Amino acid sequence: MPVSAQLNIDLHLSQAGANAFSAGPFWNGAMSLSQAFSDGTVANKIDRVYMAERTVLTAANDDIDLAGVLLDVFGAAITAVELVGIFIINKKKDGTANATNLTLGAGTNPVVGYLGGTTPTVGPIRPGGCLLLMNPDASGLATITAATADILRVANSAGASNTYQIALLMRSA
């Protein structure tokens, strides 16, 4: 089945007071990013996707195997060789807040490349926070290699179980 995705991020700011850019009572600024992905295995394309709400126990790890173990929304195994995007939201789909922090990375046979080093991590992703990493070019974020570089670890701090949302954009070749 063909895959497509559209990522849109918009940030609009307004602050009262005169400044170097305006003598008026307000300063306004904006940043935006729009990235479309069509079906395929080269730059600006993806052909494998995973999206889920997952739960990790207190002080435990959710080790996500990216090489042939994940199932797509139709129940088919996902086989990917390149990770293009990671989006994590540290709260439930219904908006309920979590009480613990998440950390992404490290573990046994970790997917590396998106931060460098052999056991990179990023975090904490605090309750209500999010993390987006994306590289649409031909090299993506990281290479997925079965049995040696195929685990994406989401670690939960101690205190409570954590239900989070995750989306992964990948390529099969």
**CATH number of 53's domain:** 2.60.120
Which band of pLDDT confidence, cut at 50, 70 and 90, is reported for residue 78? very high
Average pLDDT over residues 61-69: 93
How many Cα atoms within 13 Å fall on the side-chain side of residue 134? Answer: 22
* Domains: count for the chain: 1
| pLDDT for residue 21 | 66
In a domain, 75, yes or no: yes
In a domain, 9, yes or no: no
pLDDT at 33 over 80: yes
The residue ranges of DSSP E strands in the chain, in sequence order, are 5-16, 26-39, 45-46, 48-56, 61-65, 67-71, 77-79, 82-89, 102-105, 121-125, 130-134, 142-143, 151-156, 162-171
In a domain, 32, yes or no: no
SS3 at position 56: strand
In a domain, 139, yes or no: yes
Residue with tokens 């101690």: 158
In a domain, 48, yes or no: yes
In a domain, 14, yes or no: no
21: its two tokens: 């850019």
| pLDDT for residue 114 | 76
Domain that holds residue 141: 41-171
